[in-house]
Structure 1
């Protein structure tokens, strides 16, 4: 499991060792996903069934819908898991614009969630999931005293080395200091990419220690080049090429969630690059603004951005988020979801 940086909150509403109300937030979405998976397993895993695992979009859900879901008794299972994504970020702008002013009617309504949580059935586990939040977030301030709050921050330095070492140890392996240094130099602290590469390295090394030569032979950016090529094919609506590259990456050991993450990340960069190009930002400054330091990747990103309108980019990004949501809900299997997604994007 990923390394977490905790913001501990006293008086978390709990039953025994299982907390009934969690808030998971931060930039490290990999660790958030792993924590969610662990919580689901603690609640019964596959035995939960569709009736006892509910997922809401925080930007759309009403307080009435959420409390009704939380107050529903679990059906033929010991627990009922309710997950809400993006509720706290709904109030981020209010944190900046309403300092020193009275609460908005919407916020006044939502702060009562703290009372509802303490009256939930003992079978319900509620989890709020969000990205990076400010300390001034007004809803977080009201809910934190009755929640177990976990801020997930991408590990760095020694923390990153410990994360890699623990992940390899969980697979029954070990890694040399030289291989560790090369691995972090090549990939950095992107845990989605690291987890994928670590799993491949462990499988390749078997019972022996992972050495520098293993990293050199297995961890390369040829795969990332194929992700770029796949996005290129999608931009040009070349379904056959995009589908072939996707299945090639899967055959080489890339997991569907990793590929979806990489495609989504690239389209997020394309949106940023497109907006900067429209603002006539100098090309030599765009790389630093979007966090892309490798020249060939920046050139490719700018080339791809020019092939899209901003409207099509934003529509594509929304489709990617919808597919991600469908996979998390269990409505679609990962590989099938990617096949359907690429077919739709190349045809749309």
Structure 2
């Protein structure tokens, strides 16, 4: 049986697919937990009996065999959840026993969940979600008799749809632009996005969550704010750039941290521009340079730097390198040093340029 994705798993849960074993795995803990709760809720709905939970990383094999073989007092199948199983930590003989249970179990439904560790280098697609070799025996057993689902981390588009759906569930309405802004500010963290949506829905009296409300009340991610700062700089919007910089100072963000995030933004822009010059798309740059998560950030970087040449971006990086040295070794107020560097960065896109960093 083919490995299901998130939407296919949702349909399988909704239709009540009757199989003896399920295996769910993901890099995202909230996503894994959310789908597991839905699945367990669906499986236990008819019996009213709680699932038997055997926590990982190494489950108690004796209890597993006992739970799988026990006959329910209600004449229905028990649900046994192997939560956060770590196949690499379980010995080969016990993994073989669990695999055998999948095909032999008669009185229970087995649910295995595996939270994967993100590798140092990831990319989008099926290749990013791969069980360790130690899980091969269990994977093969569940594939033959049950359902396997690989829950890939959401991208910006699906995260936006998630907060809009969740707001509606709460009785509120999320403006599409506001939802997109919330994702940009918080990043793709479903647990954080859920909490922010709950807060914003309550703040607007469960009416419309608009852009102004998101900008005033949502959690601020320094990387998102600094990326917005770089967009103002590259567009020559000096007033907006300094206003945002002032807000970052007001929120007590350290100048060194702001400078580091700003350097990261310019490095992203330089890399995607260099990739484009070599006929390599931002997706290729994302993969080859070992970025994590989504390539949305590099896509935005390419759009932001469209009017800048590689040499101009290199000059900006040189300004930021000198700024870093001064921030770590100069007696001058760090806020002033950062403000002067922003002024020089603004000049890099113009025909005239004064050097504030020397």
Q: TM-score, normalised by structure 1?
A: 0.50
Instruction: Calculate the TM-score normalised by the size of structure 2.
Output: 0.48
Bigger relative contact order (CA 8 A; separation at least 6): 1
- Which entry has the higher C-alpha Rg, 1 or 2? 2
